[in-house]
């Protein structure tokens, strides 16, 4: 499947604010990497540049050897990159299955008719929504909206999945379900870049972490060591705790 992401010297400015300043890291094939940091540290801006929602001012984003830095989101999706959002954005006038079906138009391969319908049901079954494709999106619980959001991302058949606080707002039992789903994806060989504030999920899923503060990487390496680093504790809790 491959799925290696390499980010080098990435920069993004908004007027006089430098949101991302010289960020570099890699995600290896089949690896789940945590991209962490306090609010406003630049994590989601990095995700937006990788997915093509924002264009980088400088630096390079390469995926499986292909330069993505100047490509539009639909072209990036064709190369095997998909993402979820912290706030689920369903199309409320469509059914659950129709929301997922739309993603096939932007994926690596084109599917139509009966084949597409079978693949939609396969994705819904994978996330725990099997047999519920005909339901209205507005009737779904919060965890089921999250499941649909994941199924929609998976419908594009990505090699790299960008999860932007996908686990946020879940209760403990729902969180366990979400963690297990991400583990299953990793078991299938998918690479995952995970922006997350829930440390239980980070420790359960991420072999390595990259921590940002004020637009820069302040720590990178094995998760347990990084989460104990004084500069990381200081970024989250202040110098007194560090």
119 and 11 inside one domain: no
Instruction: Single out the residue in 125, 157, 189 at which a domain terminates.
Output: 157
94 and 70 inside one domain: no
**Torsions phi, psi of 219, nearest 5?**
-160, 150
119 and 137 inside one domain: yes
165 and 73 inside one domain: yes
65 and 176 inside one domain: yes
Instruction: Single out the residue in 157, 184, 210 at which a domain terminates.
Output: 157
Q: From the CA atom positions of the chain, what is the Rg in Å?
A: 18
Is residue 166 within 8 A of residue 146, CB to CB? The reply is yes
DSSP helix, strand, coil percent of the chain (3-state; round to 5): 40, 25, 35
What pTM, to 2 d.p., does this model score? 0.90
103 and 217 inside one domain: no
Report residue 236 CA to chain centroid gap. 21
230 and 166 inside one domain: yes
Task: Please compute, for residue 70, the number of CA atoms within 13 A of its CA located in the half-sphere on the CB side.
Answer: 1
201 and 189 inside one domain: yes
Q: Give the CATH number, domain containing residue 242.
A: 3.40.50.300
pLDDT digit string (tens) for the chain, length 242 residues: 688 999 999 999 999 999 999 999 999 999 999 999 999 999 999 999 999 999 999 999 999 999 999 999 989 998 999 998 877 778 888 899 999 988 776 667 776 677 778 888 999 999 999 999 999 998 898 889 989 999 989 988 899 999 999 898 889 998 999 999 999 999 889 999 999 999 999 999 999 999 999 999 999 999 999 999 999 999 887 765 44
76 and 177 inside one domain: yes
The closest alpha carbon to 138, from 99, 190, 181, 83, belongs to 99
In what side-by-side order are the strands of the sheet with 17-27?
17-27, 5-14, 58-63, 66-67
Is residue 107 within 8 A of residue 149, CB to CB? The reply is no
3 and 49 inside one domain: yes
State which residues form the domain around 203. 1-80+159-242
From the CB of residue 221, how many other CB atoms can be counted at a distance below 10 Å? Answer: 12
- Residues 121-139 as b/e (b if ≥16 CB within 10 A, e otherwise) read bebbebbebeebbeeebee
Number of domains in the chain: 2
CA 108/CA 66 separation, integer angstroms:
14
For residue 27, what are the CA distances in angstroms to 24, 83, 113?
11, 15, 35
74 and 96 inside one domain: no
């Amino acid at each position: 499947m491959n799925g290696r992401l390499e980010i080098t010297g990435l920069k993004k400015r908004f007027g006089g604010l430098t949101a991302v300043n010289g960020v570099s890291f890699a995600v290896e094939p089949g690896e789940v990497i945590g991209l962490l940091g306090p609010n406003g540290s630049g994590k989601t801006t990095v995700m937006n540049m990788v997915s093509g929602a924002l264009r980088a001012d400088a630096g390079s984003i390469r995926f499986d050897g292909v330069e993505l830095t100047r490509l539009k989101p639909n072209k990036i999706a064709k190369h095997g990159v998909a993402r979820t959002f912290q706030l689920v954005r369903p199309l409320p006038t469509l059914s659950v299955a129709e929301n997922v079906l739309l993603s096939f138009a932007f994926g690596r391969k084109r599917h139509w008719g009966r084949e597409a319908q079978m693949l939609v049901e396969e994705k819904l079954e994978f996330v725990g929504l099997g047999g519920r494709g005909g339901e209205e999106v507005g009737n779904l619980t919060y965890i089921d909206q999250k499941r649909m959001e994941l199924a929609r991302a998976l419908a594009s058949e990505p090699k790299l999945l960008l999860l932007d606080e996908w686990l946020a707002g879940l209760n403990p039992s729902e969180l366990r379900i979400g963690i297990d789903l991400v583990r299953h994806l990793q078991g299938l060989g998918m690479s995952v870049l995970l922006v997350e504030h829930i440390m239980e999920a980070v420790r359960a899923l991420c072999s390595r972490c990259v921590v940002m503060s004020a637009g820069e990487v302040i720590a990178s390496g094995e998760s347990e060591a990084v989460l104990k680093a004084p500069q990381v504790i200081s970024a989250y809790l202040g110098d007194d705790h560090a």
